[in-house]
Amino acid sequence: MSLIRTDYFLSPYQTGKWVLEVSGTHFIINDDTKKLIDILSTSQNYKEAATHFNSDFESNDFSEIEFAGFTEKVFEEIPIFNHSVTETKEPKSFIKFQKELLKPSVAGKTASFITFLFNKKLFWITFSLLVVLQVIIMINTPLSSFTNISPVWVVVIYTSTMFLHELGHIAACRKFTGKNGEIGFGIYFIFPVLYSNISSVWHADKQERVITNLAGIYMQLLCMLILYGIYLLTHDASSLYLAYFIACYCLLQVFPFIRSDGYWLLSDLTSTSNLLQKSESEVKRFITKPFSWLKEKREKKGFLLGYGFFNYAILIYFITTQLIFNWEKILYFPVYIINTIKQIFTFQFDKITFDSGLITVIIFYILVFNYANNFIKNISASPDKKRGH
Let me know if residue 1 belongs to a domain.
no
DSSP states of 307-353 as a string? HHHHHHHHHHHHHHHHHHHSHHHHHHHHHHHHHHHHHHHTT-GGG--
Let me know if residue 114 belongs to a domain.
yes
DSSP letter at 199 equals G
* Same domain as 69, residue 146: no
* Same domain as 121, residue 36: no
What CA–CA distance (Å, rounded) separates 257 from 279?
11
| The total number of structural domains that make up the chain | 2
What CA–CA distance (Å, rounded) separates 198 from 184?
12
Let me know if residue 55 belongs to a domain.
yes
Q: What is the dihedral of CA 100, 102, 106, 111, to 10 degrees?
A: -120
* Same domain as 243, residue 159: yes
Which CA distances in Å does 340 have to 105, 307, 336, 347? 36, 38, 6, 10
Let me know if residue 2 belongs to a domain.
no
pLDDT in tens, 130-158: 999 999 999 988 766 555 666 677 778 87
pLDDT tens for the chain, 389 residues long, are: 678 888 888 888 888 888 888 877 888 889 999 999 998 888 888 888 888 888 888 767 888 888 888 888 888 888 888 765 545 455 556 677 788 899 999 999 999 999 999 999 999 999 999 999 999 999 988 766 555 666 677 778 878 899 999 999 999 999 999 999 999 988 766 667 888 999 889 889 999 999 999 999 999 999 999 999 999 999 888 888 889 989 988 998 888 876 678 888 998 888 888 888 888 889 988 999 888 888 888 888 889 999 989 888 888 898 899 999 888 888 988 888 888 888 888 877 777 776 667 778 887 887 777 666 665 655 544 333 332 33
* Same domain as 67, residue 125: no
Single pTM value for the model = 0.77
Let me know if residue 61 belongs to a domain.
yes
pLDDT in tens, 276-328: 888 888 998 899 988 888 888 888 888 999 998 988 888 889 889 999 988 88
* Same domain as 250, residue 109: yes
Residue 326: what residue type?
N
DSSP states of 250-317 as a string? HHHHH-TTSSSHHHHHHHHHTT-TTHHHHHHHHHHHHHH-HHHHHH---TTHHHHHHHHHHHHHHHHH
Strand order in the sheet with 96-102: 96-102, 183-188, 191-196
* Same domain as 17, residue 58: yes
Q: What spatial distance separates the first Cα and last Cα of the chain, rounded to whole Å? A: 35
In the chain, which residue ranges form alpha helices assigned H by DSSP? 31-42, 46-56, 64-74, 104-111, 120-140, 151-177, 206-234, 237-254, 261-269, 275-288, 290-295, 301-325, 327-345, 358-380
CB burial readout 168-188, b (16+ within 10 A) else e: bbbbbbbbbbebbbbbbbbeb
Last residue of a domain, one of 234, 254, 274: 254
* Same domain as 110, residue 68: no
Q: Cβ distance 264 to 256 under 8 Å?
A: no
* Same domain as 208, residue 116: yes
Structural domain for 136, as ranges: 104-179+198-254
Strand order in the sheet with 9-14: 9-14, 17-22, 25-30
* Same domain as 129, residue 50: no
What CA–CA distance (Å, rounded) separates 129 from 107?
28
- Closest alpha carbon to 80 in 47, 32, 33: 33
Let me know if residue 345 belongs to a domain.
no
* Same domain as 131, residue 32: no
What CA–CA distance (Å, rounded) separates 265 from 389?
19
